[in-house]
Amino acid sequence: MFRGVLLFFLIMLCLPGHTLAQQKIPILIYHSIDEYNGKGSKELFVTPENFEKQMIYLKNQGYTLLTFERWQEADKINKPIFITFDDGYKNNLTAFTILQKLRDDKFRPTATFFVITDFIGHSNRLSQSDLKMMSETGVISVQSHTATHPDLTKSGDIKGELKGSKEKIENITGKPVTALAYPYGNFNERVAAETKKYYLFGLTTTPEIYTKKGIKDELFYLPRIYVKYSTTLEEFANLITK
């Protein structure tokens, strides 16, 4: 009996640490980094001042900001976190500038921009040159938010939305596109199955911190937590630790 118990504990000690205590990985979602101008949903804005305070908080608390190219590193890092932006708004250049400003030898922040490819170059959206420039710095990973932002659970052209947008971004940046953010956060098993054909990750807007559950295709149901206009710094700290 004793030898059996001892063997069990020896086996457990040899397994990766996250088997004993699941790693918590917050994935945050932003949209516009700008002062609210009265147009659109106010809560989808975060002021540049607040965004910078939030990033300084992460820096001071020892977080490592990852992109999905480095997903496998999350288990080896004490405080991994993913910063994501949806829709590809022009004002996301402000977030890029702030991340660059905070960069030093110890803190090397990165973020993921999920862009709608048919909107690239529109008046209030990032241009091809913007995306290429930011991608080349290594600070920003450009990934897909589909071609036209449809509800994929109702779309009749999922292949075009997924494959087409992936190829367009790869042609712009010259880098692999492996992650998709579902428009409106809408998904089902069919959408996840189609996404799996072209991507390694699918992101929802299910509001929770990611922990590995071992369910089928769980990397295509990744949750994300909204950071809003009204989010205080105290609330921000609670969001990523709850």
Q: Where are the beta strands (DSSP E) in 116-169?
A: 140-144
92-102 and 128-137 helices, crossing angle to 10° = 20
The reported pLDDT for the residue numbered 9 is 43
The stretches in the chain having pLDDT less than 70 are: 1-21
Cβ neighbours of 30 (radius 10 Å): 24
Q: Rounded distance, CA 120 to CA 177, Å?
A: 16
The reported pLDDT for the residue numbered 242 is 79
CATH code for 23-239? 3.20.20.370
What is the residue extent of each domain of the chain? 23-239
Indicate the residue type of 137.
Answer: T
Residues 187-232 pLDDT 10s: 999 999 999 999 999 999 999 999 999 999 999 999 999 999 999 9
The reported pLDDT for the residue numbered 12 is 42
Handedness of CA 198, 84, 111, 91 (dihedral sign): positive
The reported pLDDT for the residue numbered 10 is 43
The reported pLDDT for the residue numbered 191 is 97
Mean pLDDT rounded to a whole number for the chain: 92
Report whether 136 contacts 124 (CB < 8 A): no
Q: Rounded distance, CA 164 to CA 206, Å?
A: 26
